[in-house]
Amino acid sequence: DAWRYSQLADYERNFQQGGWSYDAWNEHQKVMLWALGNDVNSALTLRLPGVLTYTRDVILDKFQDYMSGSISMEELKPAVAQGWIDATTTQGKLNQVQIYRASLGLDPLTEFDLCRLHREDMDMEDNTLCTKYDPKDSDSSRTILIAVLIPVLAVIFAGTVIWLYLARKRRHADAIWMIDTGELKFDDPPEIAGRGTFGLVVKAEYRGTDVAVKRVIPPKDRMNRSGVLLGSFDKNGPA
């Protein structure tokens, strides 16, 4: 608009007195005219409430002080930053947001969105407005229960899988020592490799390997007092 461009056009009144050289002003004018042009649409930021006061009372004054040597760059930076904080506080951040959105043709933020995005500022205005959107106690309890239950179930599941794996591995290891008596092959008659008071040791073949099988003799078939073996070997009996 006319006011914005007027701030750039008058070198003697607006810049020379602040210590700007003509070349510096000319370069600044070119950049600002480009930034304010419709092509890049940068002027939209100037629609923020309070930006006019900020530009006039903070930017121009502080930059003039800097160009004249009254303040240093280290003093300029915090002064400019604090100036915008003061402008925002005066206008109200929530008010700035809604007016700026309207200038862009956007719908205003709902109360829910304001509570979600700007909760601290909403609470400063009225700390009861956003409480209606806070999670209910039941929801919080359910969330906590789920958060606790899932890890517990995961641990139980992992423990069950490990137990089943170890049990299967143990059964597989035990199976090595389980003898299928149907696969034992004896000579006919069986060849006795040795004998004792309580049983006989008989030669046999198991899955192609020579083995020794010990058969426990029941008490009624054991040797009598004279040392004579009572009963006979039964290759189908218990070994």
DSSP 8-state code for residue 50 = T
Q: Classify strands 184-185 and 199-206 as parallel, antiparallel or unpaired.
A: antiparallel
Strand partners, 211: 204
The stretch 203-210 carries a mean pLDDT of 88
CA–CA separation, 221 vs 104, rounded Å?
109
pLDDT at 110 over 50: yes
Compute how many other C-beta atoms are within 10 angstroms of the C-beta atom of residue 115.
19
Name the band, by pLDDT with cuts 50, 70 and 90, for residue 222. low
Does residue 8 sit in the same domain as residue 114?
A: yes
Residue 86 and residue 133 in contact, taking contact as beta carbons nearer than 8 Å? no
pLDDT at res. 123 = 93
pLDDT at res. 227 = 47
Q: Last residue of some domain: 98, 133, 168? A: 133
pLDDT at res. 236 = 54
Does residue 129 sit in the same domain as residue 12?
A: yes
The stretch 95-118 carries a mean pLDDT of 89
- Residue with tokens 């407005």, as numbered in its chain: 129
> 217: Cβ–Cβ under 8 A, 6 or more apart, which residues?
198, 199, 200, 231
pLDDT at 220 over 70: no
Does residue 54 sit in the same domain as residue 86?
A: yes
Name the band, by pLDDT with cuts 50, 70 and 90, for residue 225. very low
Does residue 46 sit in the same domain as residue 28?
A: yes
The stretch 159-184 carries a mean pLDDT of 82
Of residues 210 and 195, more confidence is placed in 210
Does residue 10 sit in the same domain as residue 100?
A: yes
pTM: 0.39
Does residue 14 sit in the same domain as residue 37?
A: yes
Q: What is the mean pLDDT of the chain?
A: 80
pLDDT at res. 111 = 93
Count of the separate structural domains present in the chain: 3
Name the band, by pLDDT with cuts 50, 70 and 90, for residue 9. confident
- Determine the structural domain holding residue 239 and report its residue range: 181-239
Segment 28-64, tens digit of pLDDT: 888 777 766 655 455 556 677 888 888 888 888 998 8
Does residue 171 sit in the same domain as residue 186?
A: no
Does residue 115 sit in the same domain as residue 226?
A: no
Does residue 170 sit in the same domain as residue 200?
A: no
Give the whole-number percent of the chain exceeding pLDDT 90.
20
Segment 125-149, tens digit of pLDDT: 899 999 998 877 655 667 777 888 8
Does residue 32 sit in the same domain as residue 48?
A: yes
Does residue 156 sit in the same domain as residue 234?
A: no
CB burial string 8-21: b at 16+ within 10 A, e below: beeeeebbeebebe
Of residues 223 and 68, more confidence is placed in 68
Averaging pLDDT over each range in 49-58, 100-109, 113-122, 181-190, which range is the top one? 113-122
Of residues 238 and 117, more confidence is placed in 117
Name the band, by pLDDT with cuts 50, 70 and 90, for residue 231. very low
Sheet strands (E) in the chain: 184-185, 192-195, 199-206, 209-216
